[in-house]
Amino acid sequence: MGLLTIGTFAKASRLSPKALRLYDELGLLTPARVDPVTGYRLYAPEQLDQARLVAWLRRLGMPLARIQHVSMLESAAAAQEIRAFWAQVEADTAARRNLASFLIDHLSWKDPAMSSTTKPLGIRYAALSDTGLVRETNQDTAYAGSRLLAVADGYGSAGAPASAAAIDALKRLETDSIPAGDLLNLLEDAIEQAKHAVHGVAGTASSPEQAGTTLTAMLWTGSQLALVHIGDSRVYLLRDGALFQITHDHTMVQSMVDEGRLTQEEAASHPQRSLLLRALGQGADGSPDMRLHDAQQGDRYLLCSDGLSTVVPTDEIRRALSEIREPEQAVRELIALANGCGSPDNVSCVVADVMELQQ
Ligand code: MG
């Protein structure tokens, strides 16, 4: 079979002649021959496979420079490269979805204080952290104040100072007043500061790449709770007697569950179940999930490290949170439940209730 004209080749490859001319100029798909007299481009039939691959990759949204790289690879390596590209696209989309929903919540929210029928809300809270029954030191940090609720689970040689530094950096949010509309910027700044603080502490450790911390925090604005979450500590919401986990673990096993490669039961006993995909620390992906929750009177929030959620069945957690009225007593009971299960890890809990303020 002889060479194909650009028109025939375009039809067969589903690329336009204009696109083919561009790809030629970019060196992405060079014609087999260019007629020296007319300047017409001619293509070999064997080039169709490559042209179709380029067309599909364009449809995926892959940048031209990356397509050029992929089209020079063997099939297996090309497949690997496309997989990596797509994983990145999905991660970027997830991060943008997160940000979009935060902004939508933030901008569509109406201040209930404007209504004369609603009473102002406040929170009452308690925090407790325990070494557990196996570990020699406690690398968790738990904190509860009038505005900030936070749990951090440190790991590695400087785990304890890392978790403490992350929460210390957020404590600034307790004292600063929060101008309306400034919440997102404020949280982002605070997370940046937490990152720097953790790097500062972990950098002095004997093996800095091994040290870091999770960070899961909620900021009370007077009518909403803004959530910031990195790692595998969790937040649960008890509302009308039902318990909802409102954070997503940033762990390798959770991502395998999401992809359908592992069941929830298999994940629970997986030897690498504590391997984090996101954390604050050297070399770690520290991008936070951020969400806004409208406060409802009677809501109870639990922030906890994996030392609780890994060993105490969710139904036991729900029962303790439903039955015990005072936050101080609830955190003590939750830690006692973890210790009753052998507490192989440090365990931290923060419990906060949304309630009407006494006037
Ligand atoms: Mg832990």
How far does the centroid of ligand 1 lie from the alpha carbon of residue 215, in Å? 11
Domains of the chain: 4-72 (1.10.1660.10), 116-356 (3.60.40.10)
How far does the centroid of ligand 1 lie from the alpha carbon of residue 252, in Å? 15
- CB proximity list for 255: less than 8 A, separation 6 or greater: 277
Q: What is the pLDDT of residue 1?
A: 66
pLDDT value at 112 more than 60: no
pLDDT tens, residue by residue, 135-149: 999 999 999 999 999
How far does the centroid of ligand 1 lie from the alpha carbon of residue 335, in Å? 13
d(CA 261, CA 189): 36
- CB proximity list for 69: less than 8 A, separation 6 or greater: 81
pTM summary value:
0.74
How far does the centroid of ligand 1 lie from the alpha carbon of residue 167, in Å? 16
How far does the centroid of ligand 1 lie from the alpha carbon of residue 262, in Å? 22
How far does the centroid of ligand 1 lie from the alpha carbon of residue 133, in Å? 13
How far does the centroid of ligand 1 lie from the alpha carbon of residue 345, in Å? 6
Nearest to 82 by CA among 261, 74, 26: 74
- Mean pLDDT within 163-190: 84
- CB proximity list for 176: less than 8 A, separation 6 or greater: 186
How far does the centroid of ligand 1 lie from the alpha carbon of residue 102, in Å? 28
Ranges of beta strands (E only) in the chain are 4-5, 33-34, 41-43, 121-130, 140-144, 148-155, 212-213, 215-220, 224-230, 234-239, 242-245, 280-281, 289-294, 300-304, 347-356
pLDDT value at 181 more than 80: no
Q: Which bin fits 280, alpha (ψ -120 to 50), beta or left (φ > 0)?
A: beta
pLDDT tens, residue by residue, 329-349: 999 999 999 999 999 999 999
How far does the centroid of ligand 1 lie from the alpha carbon of residue 164, in Å? 14
Strand pairing category for 234-239 and 242-245? antiparallel
Q: What is the pLDDT of residue 180?
A: 61
Q: What is the pLDDT of residue 131?
A: 95
C-beta contacts of 256-262 below 8 A and 24+ residues apart: none
Q: What is the pLDDT of residue 114?
A: 52
Query: What average pLDDT does the chain have?
Result: 89
Q: What is the pLDDT of residue 125?
A: 97
How far does the centroid of ligand 1 lie from the alpha carbon of residue 173, in Å? 25
- CB proximity list for 227: less than 8 A, separation 6 or greater: 216, 217, 218, 235, 246, 247, 289, 290, 291, 292, 293
Q: Are 105 and 115 in contact (CB under 8 A)?
A: no
- Mean pLDDT within 202-208: 65
Q: What is the pLDDT of residue 175?
A: 77
How far does the centroid of ligand 1 lie from the alpha carbon of residue 287, in Å? 19
Q: What residues does 220 pair with on adjacent strands?
A: 225
Q: What is the pLDDT of residue 236?
A: 96
Q: What is the pLDDT of residue 206?
A: 62
Most confidently modeled range among 9-13, 165-169, 262-266: 165-169
Q: What is the pLDDT of residue 353?
A: 97
Least confident of 15-29, 145-159, 251-265: 251-265
How far does the centroid of ligand 1 lie from the alpha carbon of residue 127, in Å? 16
How far does the centroid of ligand 1 lie from the alpha carbon of residue 261, in Å? 24
3-state secondary structure of 282: coil
Q: What is the pLDDT of residue 108?
A: 75
How far does the centroid of ligand 1 lie from the alpha carbon of residue 274, in Å? 8
d(CA 143, CA 145): 7
Output phi, psi for 49, to 5 deg: -60, -45
Q: Which residue has the tokens 């595998």?
A: 232
